[in-house]
Amino acid sequence: DADVTQTPRNRITKTGKRIMLECSQTKGHDRMYWYRQDPGLGLRLIYYSFDVKDINKGEISDGYSVSRQAQAKFSLSLESAIPNQTALYFCATSDSKGTTNYGYTFGSGTRLTVV
Amino acid sequence: AQSVAQPEDQVNVAEGNPLTVKCTYSVSGNPYLFWYVQYPNRGLQFLLKYITGDNLVKGSYGFEAEFNKSQTSFHLKKPSALVSDSALYFCAVRDGWGGGFKTIFGAGTRLFVKA
């Protein structure tokens, strides 16, 4: 099983619909992140969470919300989807304790298309 | 503010030749530098990091990177490219000052290795 699992892998939704992307991890990491990837723009941070009670906005949080249901689960919601939210979304985790390599572990991504 | 630049959208190299993927960065404190690779339909995978110590760091799949403080660069290299190295490569920087956590990703460089 993957260390970081994202569901669904692909989703097509209509403008105005609410949609939730889910992320779960078995790494035991305390920090979790949501990024979106657009061609030529790299990865941009949407939201991040350092623990269950901690939620922070990233650089492009407008139109998104998140929920950290448990240390292992971090979901991203689009309250009312719009076409320019069509992108590849990644969940990532990291460990604040410095016992690992300071890098991130990424999920396989969710390809979201808003029509 | 921290930033990272990958000046080449695409790098083409023949199999067996050396490859270099360029990255420059800007941070206010000590940089933590990373390279990630993304294969089609997959999430990003950690390749290597520089935190401190030797300027030449070795990572997965025969890749290495050289930290150059005076040029604020962290170029990814491999002595002999393989067709299977064809992928999208991301440089990332984290500002180590004060235990900063935020990791910024470059826009990515697509590497094509021709047989």
Residue B101 has pLDDT above 50, yes or no: yes
Cβ distance B45 to A106 less than 8 Å, yes or no, reads yes
Q: What is the mean pLDDT of residues A101-110?
A: 86
pLDDT at B96: 63
pLDDT tens per residue, range A31-83: 999 999 998 888 999 999 988 999 999 989 999 999 999 999 999 999 999 99
Question: Could you tell me the CA-to-CA distances from B62 to A5, A89, B5, B59, B88 in Å, in that order?
Answer: 27, 29, 23, 6, 16
pLDDT at B40: 85
Asked if the peptide bond before residue A8 counts as cis, ω within 30 degrees of 0, the response is yes
How large a percentage of chain B has pLDDT more than 90? Answer: 75
Q: Hey, what's the torsion of the CAs at A84, B45, B56, A41, to 10 degrees?
A: -10
Residue of A nearest to B32 (CA): A102
pLDDT at A101: 60
The residue among B10, B44, B101 with the most chain A CBs within 10 A of its CB, best to mutate, is B44
Q: What is the mean pLDDT of residues B83-97?
A: 88
What residues form DSSP beta bridges with B36?
B46, B90
Q: What sign for the dihedral angle of Cα B81, B82, B86, B88?
A: negative
Closest Cα in chain A, distance from residue B87 (Å): 14
Cβ distance A42 to B108 less than 8 Å, yes or no, reads yes
The residue among A104, A108, A110 with the most chain B CBs within 10 A of its CB, best to mutate, is A104
Q: What is the mean pLDDT of residues B4-23?
A: 97
Query: Comparing A74-88, A99-113, B59-73, which segment has the lowest mean pLDDT?
Result: A99-113
The residue that leads in pLDDT, B28 or A21, is: A21
Query: Comparing A81-90, B1-10, B67-76, which segment has the lowest mean pLDDT?
Result: B1-10
Cα B51 from Cα B16, distance rounded (Å): 30
3-state secondary structure of A30: coil
Cα A103 from Cα B5, distance rounded (Å): 19
Per DSSP (E only), the strands in B1-115 are: 3-5, 10-14, 19-21, 24-26, 31-38, 44-50, 56-58, 64-68, 73-78, 87-95, 103-105, 109-114
3-state secondary structure of B98: helix
pLDDT at B98: 47
**By the 8 A CB rule, do A5 and A105 touch?**
no
Closest Cα in chain B, distance from residue A60 (Å): 13
Q: Hey, what's the torsion of the CAs at A29, B96, B5, B37, to 10 degrees?
A: -30
pLDDT at B99: 46
Q: What sign for the dihedral angle of Cα B9, B40, A87, A52?
A: negative
**Structure tokens that stand for A43 in this block:** 């990865």
pLDDT at B95: 73
**By the 8 A CB rule, do B24 and B7 touch?**
yes
Each residue of B15-40: b (16+ CB within 10 Å) or e? eeeebebbbbbebeeebbbbbbbbee
Residue B108 has pLDDT above 80, yes or no: yes
Average pLDDT, chain B: 91
Cα B95 from Cα A26, distance rounded (Å): 27
Residue B82 has pLDDT above 60, yes or no: yes
Q: What is the mean pLDDT of residues A82-102?
A: 84
Residue B71 has pLDDT above 90, yes or no: yes
Task: Count CB neighbours of A1 within 10 A.
Answer: 4
**By the 8 A CB rule, do B110 and B88 touch?**
yes
